[in-house]
Homo-oligomer: A and B are copies of this chain.
Amino acid sequence: MKKKLSEIAALIGAELKGEDLEVTGINALELADEKELSFVESGKFLEAAKNSRARALLVSPALAGKLEGKSLIVTPNVRAAVAKIGFLFYEEKEHPGGISELAFVAEGAEIHEEASIYPFVYVGEKAKIGPRTVLYPGVYVGDEAEIAEEVIIYPNAVIYPRTKIGPRTIIHAGAVVGSDGFGYAQENGRHLKIPHFGRVEIAEEVEIGANTTIDRGTFGSTKIGSGTKIDNLIQIAHNVQIGRGCAFAGQVGFTGSVRVGNFVLVGGQAGISANLGDQTMVAAKAGVAKEVPPGKAVAGAPALEIAKWRRCVAAYERLPEMVKELRELKAKIAELEEKLNERDKS
């Protein structure tokens, strides 16, 4: 596939400076060949850009003057441009369409004729699969689940009964959506299982990482809002409600019934057992047990407001010194006391 830089620039509404070359793909600075377009995410990569074999670059206006001899597509948001242009060159697999003879479709399931159902897929009773949706090999869709259009579910993911999944959502391999919540009553030292009547509802354009698990609600639903992106190996417990446009890095965990606002960012391995307001940020490895108000950032376990956490961390590293200083001060004070006492006597 070949594209002219002028075409690409037009597509993203950007300006082309320099020769209107033809490019065959997009690639990282150090990997690109002479026929590929590359990109400069910040001034940090200016030297790499100069040394790159790529003759065409996506750059921000601030860097455009510093790259003589290259053809430049100038755009304020280079990363967004990479996302959009990338898909020009990305060859999506063409799916066969229809239901494989090696798949199993239960009674009453409704599978749109434009859906692709691969071998070893199981679709339960009365489940609905929308147009252009792809169920890769080994996917399980439980009874009465509803999968909208243009959803991609990668191999061996498991969708429990009655789950709802919105348009253009992507679910990666091995993810489990809709399993029983971890809810028990205690009686005479036994854990009595509480039945889970609820479901999981996933909105549109959500992405769910490989081997992530999302439990269904006890009563009512566990909900994931539109455009929210969830990385691998994340645990989302029963009745959690997550807003729009959030992004959670790998191995994060949410305990039951937590509410998460819109545009919330959570770093890897954080654990969340309290509500997170809109546009909050939680650092990697934080342990959040107290509600975070809108717009705030927290870090640490137990989590603190991030500026405070930084000061605490800095002080923590000085702790062994502080122990020593405290000991010295004690000695000095004892000395001073003695001196004073001696004078009192004299």
Where the two chains meet, the residues of A that have a C-beta atom closer than 8 Å to any C-beta of B are 25-28, 31, 77, 79-84, 86-87, 89-90, 93, 100, 102, 104, 118-120, 122, 136-138, 140, 143, 154-156, 158, 160-161, 170, 172-174, 176, 179-180, 182, 184-187, 189-195, 197, 207, 209-211, 213, 215, 218-220, 227, 229, 231-233, 235, 237, 245, 247, 249-251, 253, 255, 263, 268-269, 271, 273, 284-285, 287, 289, 301-302, 304, 308, 311-320, 322-323, 325-326, 329-330, 332-333, 336-337, 339-340
Contact B250 A251 (CB under 8 A): no
Residues of the B chain whose Cβ atoms lie less than 8 Å from the Cβ of A90: 195, 197
Question: Known contacts A27-B197, A211-B211, A315-B323; is A229 also within 8 Å of B182 by CB?
Answer: yes
**Pairwise interchain contact A185-B80, C-beta atoms closer than 8 A:** yes
- Min CB distance A34 to B, Å, is 16
Partner of A231, one of B104, B182, B209: B182
Please determine whether A249 and B210 come into contact, CB atoms closer than 8 angstroms: no
**Bound complex: CA A90 to CA B31 (Å):** 46
Instruction: Report the minimum CB–CB distance from A246 to chain B (whole Å).
Output: 9
Instruction: Kindly provide the distance from the CB of A207 to the nearest chain B CB, expressed in whole angstroms.
Output: 7
Q: CB-CB < 8 A to A138: which residues of B?
A: 120, 122, 138, 140, 156, 158
Q: CA A90 – CA B172 in complex, angstroms?
A: 30
Q: Are B80 and A192 interface neighbours, CB within 8 A? A: yes
Number of copies: 3
Q: Given A215-B232, A232-B179, A340-B336, A273 and B263 touching (CB < 8 A)?
A: no
Contacts of A320 in B (CB 8 A): 308, 311-312, 314-315
The smallest C-beta distance from A58 to any residue of chain B, in angstroms, reads 11
A250 touches B182 (CB 8 A): yes
Nearest CB in chain B to that of A28: its residue: B219
25 sampled A-B residue pairs with Cβ under 8 A: A27-B219, A77-B185, A77-B186, A86-B194, A86-B195, A86-B197, A119-B122, A136-B140, A140-B156, A140-B173, A154-B160, A155-B158, A172-B180, A184-B229, A189-B245, A233-B253, A253-B269, A255-B268, A285-B301, A301-B301, A308-B320, A314-B320, A326-B326, A329-B329, A333-B336
- CB-contact partner of A213 in B31, B233, B332, under 8 A: B233
CB contacts (< 8 Å) of A304 on chain B: these are 317
Distance of A213 Cα from B227 Cα, bound (Å): 22
Return A96 CB to nearest CB of chain B, in Å: 10
Contacts of A340 in B (CB 8 A): 336, 339-340
Known: A122-B120, A161-B93, A195-B86. A173 touches B179 (CB 8 A): yes
